[in-house]
């Protein structure tokens, strides 16, 4: 997926909402890579598939129920 999207590890980390390229590589390398949990995968796919207006509407709903979310959704 990283090659298809032509993103760096840091960019993949941002897409999946994990803390930096080093954290992302824990999901993709080593002897026992971590599984990507369904909610993290859903988050990344939503960011790829949804237009900015729809994603902003969802993020605002999350904020309305108390979430603190700071993303560049474009």
Tens digit of each residue's pLDDT (9 = 90 or more) over 2-46 = 889 999 989 999 999 988 888 888 988 878 889 999 999 999 999
Number of independent structural domains in the chain:
1
Q: Give the structural domain span for 49.
A: 2-64
Tens digit of each residue's pLDDT (9 = 90 or more) over 45-73 = 999 999 999 999 999 999 999 999 887 64
- Dist CA 24 CA 47 (whole Å): 16
Does residue 73 fall inside a structural domain?
no
Does the predicted model carry a pTM greater than 0.95? no
- Dist CA 45 CA 62 (whole Å): 17
């Amino acid at each position: 997926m990283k090659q298809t999207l032509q993103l760096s590890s840091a960019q993949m980390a941002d897409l999946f909402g994990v803390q930096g390229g080093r954290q992302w590589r824990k999901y993709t390398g080593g002897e026992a890579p971590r599984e990507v949990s369904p909610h993290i995968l859903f988050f990344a796919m939503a960011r790829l598939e949804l237009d900015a207006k729809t994603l902003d509407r969802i993020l605002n709903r999350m904020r309305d129920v108390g979430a603190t979310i700071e993303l560049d959704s474009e």
